[in-house]
């Protein structure tokens, strides 16, 4: 068992570089300053952060400060310079910038980036492919990669388990609905809701119009998702499982417009890079040298990984989809309603009556805020949110009267796109 858990410093280093490159390039990271005012107005705490809601500063200023820490510390983490301090700072600031937008009424599932960053901060991830390792090699006269060790392999195996759990529970929750999820129209309803969310977007491949194709795909997903955990842990199955996972992501991007690129880009963790480099003759060159006694320091990663796995297990088993930093990833296992709610703004500017469909062209996060307010139309929250809207749209400053309506449209793309019902929920 210990031999199975040992791994290469090079493999862990590639995982470090990958994760922090993904963090640096992730759009979600840079949304915090934009969404901080909305988060402050709505103050809808994700499950697990209710205790923090009254105390967490939600402002663009704080978000910019956090980004000011995150970007340079992430760059240092990629380079492997002052790596221990850099990864800790990067993980801490990342926790803040990912948390802020989650208070805006919806939870987007970026949890894995934080999990991986925290796991790397607790790991000896700079013992290869890093400036730190190169400097140590210069001082000690050694330029070969350190031997395989538990301290390198354990964080990688924990990352495998976390990815497996991301797939496992959505698959199990689909099975809780039975084959009816795939064969009885539940999948089709979820598909139409996602299309409606993107303003009536349609994929070029209309699988909903091909008899049996959508149903067959649904059954395949139900069979595939629960098996990912086993597949990534069994060496002979791992390449096939990762390949199937990439095809799964490609299919969901094509049909659902759900890319999850920040997850599948981290699948470099499944590649045995040390063996790949050895085959091309680079296995023993200037890859680094471990710090004294550091090879045996596996305990911080073990404890950190244990907490991460436990959190993923509990949230997944409980079906907690609106939690942070732990949540079950989207299950899509319920039957979507036939009508989709949204908000509409009506403004009286002089003798003109202006009306905006606030859902038109909205992002996924903006849709979440609109749904939150539509389903929980508390006047005080809507009033605070409208202050943010007016600040972003100067043309509303001259409005003598503002009214917010809750509207419903059919989710089915074959039905009329007209508003079915309209209900006044706030006016000023």
Q: What local confidence, expressed as pLDDT, does residue 157 receive?
A: 96
Asked if the model's pLDDT at residue 196 lies above 90, the reply is no
More confident residue, 175 or 420: 175
The distance in angstroms from the start CA to the end CA of the chain is: 67
Residue 209 has pLDDT above 90, yes or no: no
Q: What is the mean predicted confidence (pLDDT) over 346-370?
A: 77
Res. 310: pLDDT tops 90: yes
To the nearest whole percent, how much of the chain has pLDDT over 90? 44
Own/partner long-range contacts of 230-236 (Cβ < 8 Å, ≥24 apart): 230/164, 231/164, 232/160, 232/163, 232/164, 232/270, 233/157, 233/160, 233/161, 233/164
C-alpha angle 147/153/158, rounded to 5°? 170
**Residue 144: pLDDT over 70:** no
Neighbour count for residue 330 (Cβ, 10 Å): 17
What's the predicted TM-score (pTM) here? 0.91
| Percentage with pLDDT > 70 across the chain | 92
Average of per-residue pLDDT across 287-314: 78
- So what's the pLDDT on residue 295? 46
pLDDT for residue 398 is more than 90: no
Which token pair is 384?
């605070």
Q: Express each pLDDT in 410-419 by its tens digit.
A: 888 887 778 8
How does residue 14 score in pLDDT terms, banded at 50, 70 and 90?
very high
Question: Rounded to whole angstroms, what are the CA distances from 6 to 1, 42, 149, 300?
Answer: 9, 47, 5, 15
Highest mean pLDDT among 184-198, 284-298, 305-319: 305-319
- Strand, coil or helix: 1: coil
Position 341 scores a pLDDT of 87
Q: What is the mean pLDDT of the chain?
A: 86
Q: Could you tell me which residues come within 8 angstroms of residue 391 by beta carbon, excluding any fewer than 6 positions away?
A: 37
Q: What is the DSSP string of 166-222?
A: HHHHHHHHHHHT-THHHHSSHHHHHHHHHHHHTTS---SS-GGGSTTHHHHHHHHHH
pLDDT digits (tens, 9 = 90+) for 211-229: 888 889 999 999 999 999 9
What pLDDT was estimated at residue 18?
Answer: 97
Q: In this model, does residue 5 exceed pLDDT 60? A: yes
pLDDT beyond 60 at 85: yes
What value does the mean pLDDT take over residues 332-346?
85
The residue that leads in pLDDT, 358 or 282, is 358
pLDDT at res. 298: 84
Confirm if 312 and 327 have CB atoms less than 8 A apart: no
Q: What pLDDT score was predicted for residue 281? A: 61
Q: How far is CA 242 from the centre of its chain?
A: 18
Residue 266 tokens, joined: 């981290």
- DSSP-derived secondary structure letter, 44: B
Pick the closest to residue 406 from 341, 336, 338 (CA basis). Answer: 341
Q: Is the pLDDT of residue 291 over 60?
A: no
Q: What is the mean pLDDT of residues 265-292?
A: 72
pLDDT the model gives residue 293: 47
Report pLDDT for 340: 85
Q: Give 382's pLDDT tier (boundaries 50, 70, 90).
A: confident
pLDDT above 90 (res 357): no
pLDDT on residue 287:
52
Which residues partner with 346 through β-bridges?
A: 355, 403
The yes-or-no verdict on residue 274 having pLDDT over 60 is: yes
pLDDT value at 191 more than 90: no
Q: What is the pLDDT of residue 292?
A: 46
Cα separation of 145 and 127, whole Å? 8
């Amino acid at each position: 068992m210990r031999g199975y858990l040992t791994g290469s410093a090079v493999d862990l280093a590639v995982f470090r570089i990958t994760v922090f490159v993904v963090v640096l390039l992730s759009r979600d990271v840079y949304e915090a300053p934009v969404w901080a005012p909305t988060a402050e107005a709505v103050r809808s705490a994700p499950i697990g952060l209710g205790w923090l809601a009254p105390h967490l500063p939600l402002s663009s200023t704080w978000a910019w400060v956090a980004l000011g820490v995150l970007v340079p510390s992430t760059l240092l983490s990629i380079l492997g310079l002052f790596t221990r301090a850099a990864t800790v700072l990067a993980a801490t600031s990342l926790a803040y910038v990912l948390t802020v937008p989650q208070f805006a009424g919806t939870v987007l599932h970026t949890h894995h980036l934080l999990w991986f960053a925290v796991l790397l901060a607790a790991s000896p991830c700079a013992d290869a492919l890093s400036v730190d390792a190169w400097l140590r090699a210069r001082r000690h006269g050694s330029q070969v990669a350190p031997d395989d060790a538990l301290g390198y392999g354990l964080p990688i195996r924990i990352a495998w388990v976390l990815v497996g759990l991301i797939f496992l529970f959505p698959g199990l929750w689909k099975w809780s609905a039975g084959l009816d999820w795939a064969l009885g129209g539940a999948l089709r309803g979820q598909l139409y809701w996602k299309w409606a969310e993107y303003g009536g977007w349609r994929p070029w491949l209309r699988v909903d119009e091909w008899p049996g194709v959508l149903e067959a795909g649904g059954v395949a997903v139900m069979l595939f998702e629960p098996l990912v955990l086993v597949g990534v842990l069994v060496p002979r199955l791992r390449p096939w499982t990762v390949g199937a996972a990439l095809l799964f992501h490609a299919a969901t991007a094509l049909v659902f417009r759900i890319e999850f690129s920040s997850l599948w880009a981290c699948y470099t963790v499944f590649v045995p890079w040390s063996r790949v480099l050895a085959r091309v003759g680079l296995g023993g060159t200037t890859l680094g040298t471990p710090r004294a006694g550091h090879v045996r320091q596996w305990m911080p990663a073990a404890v950190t990984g244990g907490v991460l796995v436990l959190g993923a297990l509990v949230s997944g088993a409980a079906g907690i989809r609106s939690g942070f930093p732990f949540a079950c990833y989207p299950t899509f296992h319920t039957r979507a309603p036939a009508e989709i709610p949204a908000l509409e703004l009506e403004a009286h500017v002089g003798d003109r009556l202006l009306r905006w469909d606030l859902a038109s062209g909205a992002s996924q996060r903006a849709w979440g805020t609109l749904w939150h307010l539509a389903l929980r139309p508390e006047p005080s929250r809507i009033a605070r949110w409208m202050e943010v809207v007016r600040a972003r749209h100067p043309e509303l400053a001259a409005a003598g009267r503002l009214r917010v309506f809750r509207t419903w449209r059919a989710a089915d793309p074959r039905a009329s796109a007209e508003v079915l019902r309209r209900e006044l929920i706030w006016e000023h």
